[in-house]
Amino acid sequence: MHRNLNIKILAVGILLLYLPALAAAGKLTGIVKVKGLRSPANILVYLTKTPKSAVNIAGTQFVMDQQNLTFLPHILPIPVGATVAFPNNDKVDHNVFSLSRAKNFNLGSYKPGESKTIRFDKPGMVEVRCDVHAEMLAYIMVMKNHYFAVTDSRGRFEIPDAIFLEQSGIDGAANIPPGKYFIKTWHEKLKTKKQAVVVSNDEPVSIQLDLTRGTPSVLYK
Ligand SMILES: [Cu+2]
C-alpha cells in the first residue's frame, strides 16, 4: 500500500519536472535586432522546409483595415488560401489594388463603411496599394505554413504565434515538429536573414537575429 503510494508520488514528481519543457517544446522564440532602422517592429519571421501544416482555414477572418489614410496592419501574414477583408473605416473613398505576381487585383473605388474581400491562393508577397492615396502601402504575406510571426515593438517574436492565429480564427494550431529548418526574415527595408535552426522536443529554442538595411529577397525561392 505504502509502496504503491510512493511510486505514485514519484511518478507525479517526474511528470511535474518534465511539464514545463513539454509545454514549451516546438515553440521558437527570439528577438530581432536591427541596424539603421528606428524600430525592430513589423518584421516577418518565418520557417521554411517544414512539414506541411494542417491548419483549417475555413473559418478564418483576416483583416487589412483602412484608417486615417493608412493600412492596418502594415504587414499581414496569412496561410495560403485564406481570405482577407479590406474594410474602409475612413472618411474618404479608397481603391485598394495590387500588381504583385502572387495576387494581381483591383477592388475599385469604395465608400466609408463598405468592405471587400479577396482570396489569396498563391504563396508569396503581395504589395497592397491605394489608387487614390500614393502614400498608402502594406504587405500581405501569403505563407506556405503557419510557422510565422511578426515582431513586436521590441523586436520579439514567437513561432507559431498562437494568439494571432486564434484571433484570426485558427484554433489549436500545432507547434513546430522537431527537426531542422531554416528561419528567414522579411521587411521591405531590411536584408533578408536566413539561418538554420534546430527544434527539439527537449527544450524551447530561443535565438537572436541581427539585421541590416537593404533589399529583402523573395519570400519563397
Ligand atoms: Cu486610399
Q: pLDDT for 85-139, tens place per residue? A: 999 999 999 999 999 999 999 999 999 999 999 999 999 999 999 999 999 999 9
SS3 115: strand
72 CA to centre of ligand 1 in angstroms: 12
Domain with CATH 2.60.40.4130 in the chain: 23-53+145-221
Q: 0.85 exceeded by the pTM?
A: yes
Domain with CATH 2.60.40.420 in the chain: 55-144
**HSE-up of residue 97 (Cα within 13 Å, Cβ side):** 11
73 CA to centre of ligand 1 in angstroms: 15
Torsion of CA 106, 218, 72, 119, to 10 degrees: 50
* Mean pLDDT over the full length of the chain: 91
16 CA to centre of ligand 1 in angstroms: 54
Under CATH, to which class is 55-144 assigned?
mainly beta
Q: pLDDT for 171-184, tens place per residue? A: 888 999 999 999 99
Q: Quickly name the fold that domain 23-53+145-221 has.
A: Immunoglobulin-like (2.60.40)
